[in-house]
């Protein structure tokens, strides 16, 4: 399944109209349009308001990139997810990366505990939501990222995640190894080295996320166009 990552109502609608089977937010793109940096810098109430507006305008399943949950503990993260469920979302993406002075991964046991607590609390409340557990081993360029990713994917599965997401996993042998290490559906991220969709399906990948790539491409195009208008002394390039 191809997942279109959106940042506002019009982008979410565009993916739906193009025939995408599901839409999600891009944390980086959504934060940027509101003047914030990525990394949970945007207040949760603004994220919630944007999600609510977007969900009201689309019919396909809608998921939210919740980064590390926007909470300091499992209870707060669950409360945040409950608000998103009330807005009608189908899933959340939670990541094990910690962005501080340097990029670090949470200890496996810590993130496993978070996933397990969230899954248990949501189940007790009768709330059905897809928990996509993301590991940033490749993104953070840790030592032996494939081995680290497989170890974490297995732990996330045991904790009760519904799917796993490994950004920047792109080599065919690595993809195959991760697929074989878990029974959960594997999500990969768009990159210049990613195989085509047909090949990814053969390898066992179930979901491809566009991430912030479309947003950043559009930003580059806009910048180039407005510079061209200024330098040419004409608006003809707009028509």
**184-207 residue pLDDT tens:** 999 999 999 999 999 999 999 999
CB 20 within 8 A of CB 3: yes
For residue 98, is pLDDT > 90? no
- Sorted by where each begins, the domain ranges of the chain are 2-212
pTM of the model: 0.94
Instruction: Specify the pLDDT at position 23.
Output: 98
Residues 215-238 pLDDT 10s = 999 999 999 999 999 999 999 989
Band (pLDDT 50/70/90 cuts) for residue 162 is: very high
Superfamily of domain 2-212: Phosphoenolpyruvate-binding domains (3.20.20.60)
Enumerate helices (H) and strands (E) in the chain, giving the number of each: 9, 10
Instruction: Specify the pLDDT at position 101.
Output: 59
Residues 32-79 pLDDT 10s = 999 999 999 999 999 999 999 999 999 999 999 999 999 988 899 999
Mean pLDDT, rounded, of the chain: 95
Phi and psi based region of residue 104 (left: phi greater than 0; alpha: psi -120 to 50; beta: remaining)? beta
Q: Range with the lowest mean pLDDT among 6-10, 55-59, 99-103, 114-118?
A: 99-103
CB 6 within 8 A of CB 12: yes
């Amino acid at each position: 399944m191809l997942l279109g990552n959106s940042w506002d109502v019009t982008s979410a609608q565009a993916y739906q109209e193009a025939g995408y089977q599901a839409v999600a937010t891009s944390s980086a793109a959504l934060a940027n349009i509101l003047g914030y940096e990525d990394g949970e810098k945007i207040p949760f109430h603004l994220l919630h308001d944007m999600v609510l507006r977007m969900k009201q305008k689309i019919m396909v399943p809608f998921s939210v990139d919740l980064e590390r949950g926007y909470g300091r503990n499992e209870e707060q993260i669950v409360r945040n997810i409950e608000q998103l469920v009330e807005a009608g979302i189908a899933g959340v993406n939670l990541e094990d990366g910690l962005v501080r002075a340097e990029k670090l991964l949470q200890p496996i046991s810590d993130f496993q505990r978070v996933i397990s607590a969230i899954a248990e609390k949501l189940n007790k409340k009768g709330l059905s939501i897809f928990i996509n557990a993301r590991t940033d081993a490749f993104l953070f360029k840790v030592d032996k990222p494939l081995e680290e990713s497989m170890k974490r994917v297995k732990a996330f599965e045991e904790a009760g995640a519904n799917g796993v997401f490994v950004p920047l996993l792109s080599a065919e042998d690595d993809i195959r190894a991760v697929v074989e290490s878990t029974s959960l559906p594997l999500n990969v991220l768009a990159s210049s080295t990613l195989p085509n969709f047909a090949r990814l399906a053969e390898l066992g990948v179930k979901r491809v996320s566009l991430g912030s790539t479309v947003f950043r491409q559009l930003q580059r195009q806009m910048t180039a166009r407005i510079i061209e208008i200024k330098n040419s002394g004409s608006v003809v390039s707009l028509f």
